Amino acid sequence: MSTTLILASQSPRRKELLEQLGYHFTCLPADIDESVLAQENPEQYVSRLAIEKARVIAKQYDESVVVLGSDTSVVFGTHILGKPASLDECIAILSMLSGQTHQVITAVAVVKGERTEVFVVRTEVDFKVLTEQEISRYWHTGEPQDKAGAYGIQGVAGQFVKQIRGSYSAVVGLPLYETSQLLSLFGVHSSITKD
């Protein structure tokens, strides 16, 4: 009997990455409060959100269903950088990242019944120096609006990235190696790892 897998996300990027691994799954977005709690560090924040997303969906099903939740934050110093709501916010965020190294922290959680496992992947990203004109033109592509840290590495903003240390797919939104390892702990295998 095959296990039902649900991705607790409406992110097209996470969906593509999970499909790339050869999993069969359904997508259901989890509606949760994504506010940062007082005294919460970035790893605690993304871990809590990934777990909450998976649990909200898992509660709607019986214990045979496996739910995968994930959350990604862009972090500069102690700042968790959210999605920009305006051009001014986009300029403020990307000016902060310009010519600097920042971290992208992605948590992946899997929930099945009462069992929950979570892990965190941290990737360092080096940005080139950006002009305000480049940032403004980038905003008008429409790409940064729904992206944590105001950029998507897999899109136009890939040209801003000098190098990364860590998982590229985690920066996009779902670390491939760690996700497949975690799902296998729950008996969920992709079409290529099945016996």
Condensed to tens digits (0 to 9), the pLDDT of residues 27-47 reads 999 999 999 998 999 999 999
DSSP one-letter code for 194: -
β-strand pairing of 101-112 with 79-81: unpaired
β-strand pairing of 115-127 with 26-27: unpaired
Give the whole-angstrom CA distance, residue 107 versus residue 109: 7
pTM assigned to the model? 0.92
In three-state secondary structure terms, 190 is coil
Residue with the bigger pLDDT between 190 and 164: it is 164
**Taking the domain 5-185, which CATH number applies?**
3.90.950.10
Question: Of the residues 31, 33, 62, 71, which is catalytic?
Answer: 71
- Per-residue model confidence as pLDDT tens digits over 144-170: 998 999 999 999 999 999 999 999 999
Is 71 considered catalytic here? Answer: yes
